[in-house]
Structure 1
């Protein structure tokens, strides 16, 4: 039995691709109306890497000297206003979380997405109750670095787990990282976790398969079999 399951958010628990693409295009239409908004074909490969918004805008913007900080901030505002409604949990998300709760397996979220956006989406779908607030880590929280940097686990989550569960968390504890992109697979390896790759998500299939994740699932509900068969 795994002693902890860490979820990515985008492309893992929630289908957010439409929300992300729509918000990127809205940002271009508002801040650079004289330039065509990027197409699906241009956006998709960038999102599939799990890279942060700044990387995406740098790749898409025609001016290398654009104000990246302002663009990313406006993107996040537009996502909250117009993208959030397009994000939805994958089928069986509640069933999976109910089953993990029944097995007394703690769950956490570590995302490169803004923590406020993650919590808003979970609350909108009545799934926030499954994740203790201290165990939801994302952009904008003090000390939380971007995956695949392992510090969000080693320096932030592990001490919070001790406080939440009342016991020490050692490196040899069985941790399952569930995610859909190269970033998540590299992160799992960096923290010494078993990795469950979500083929159904937003990641580049060929690149992720090449990294030989420990488990591959084609639907979120399949995670229950991974937990069940864990040695």
Structure 2
């Protein structure tokens, strides 16, 4: 409502220019307060998402570490069993016949070679499952830190995920202290997946070569006796004839 040329309030009293200006500032302050509250709420939400991302990274990193520990444990167990069986050489000999030859060797080498094959299975689980999930969690964490946390909240060049990734991806990574903060430097880029592959490759070939050496050391090949070969052939023919009779 208005009284002549002067605006009036709900009580019919006229507003002065001072009162109008005061109301305008109060409205602006209220809108600014709401905006700040929304921004603070967004920061809290982003912080919670970031914390959950860090927990996810730790989970997948822990799973990768456990898979590598499992591989090392299998190799150590195989080596320990091989050492024990070496003291029982006669009792731990495997003999089989192939292509008319009788082959015998110590079982310790076979056990070590089997453990090398298990390393390949664990490598597949680690690199193709856990490591890829970890890389996804790291990429998401770096995006959150770069877009929402590093400059506005943390006031640093990189966040926790970005700093860890930088030192993991560069063999010459270092932190340069400057007046306006710290800067991450490094030019020799390395791939974490390549380092993990080298670890598994060394473990695989080392155990495989050791298993082959143990097998070759105790390997004994003899020609099967002619009588045994003939008996084997006769048994095979008799078996075929009995099969044909049963079929007819």
Query: Same fold by TM (over 0.5)?
Result: no
Relative to the length of structure 1, the TM-score reads 0.21
Whose Rg is larger? 2
Relative to the length of structure 2, the TM-score reads 0.20
